[in-house]
């Protein structure tokens, strides 16, 4: 019998994604981030992008806020 391990084994506890700290609420969350925020930093000529991980709740909330701001900007002509 060949003893080959698949690259991804869902039943293995070691394949669990590492917990992350949500950038919105600061809580440690198990699993993969539900979304990412986006920060843009400018420092002189340098522009840096950061995408902090967000839990499902914050990803949703921030998505809604972004949508609302978008609509406000569209109306505010």
Give me the residues that bind Zn ion (CB under 5 A), please: 22, 24-25, 55, 58
Decide whether 12 or 25 has the Cβ nearer to Zn ion: 25
Nearest to 29 by CA among 55, 59, 62: 55
Decide whether 37 or 58 has the Cβ nearer to Zn ion: 58
Closest approach of Cβ 61 to Zn ion, in Å? 8
Closest approach of Cβ 22 to Zn ion, in Å? 3
Residue 58 backbone dihedrals phi, psi, to 5 degrees: -70, -35
Nearest to 25 by CA among 67, 56, 64, 71: 56
């Amino acid at each position: 019998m060949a003893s080959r391990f698949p690259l991804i084994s869902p039943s293995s506890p070691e394949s669990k994604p590492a917990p992350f700290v949500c950038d919105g609420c600061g809580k440690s969350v198990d699993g993969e981030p539900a979304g990412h925020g986006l920060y843009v930093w400018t420092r002189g000529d340098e522009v840096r992008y950061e995408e902090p991980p967000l839990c499902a709740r914050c990803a949703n909330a921030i998505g809604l806020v972004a949508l609302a701001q978008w609509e406000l900007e569209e109306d505010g002509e």
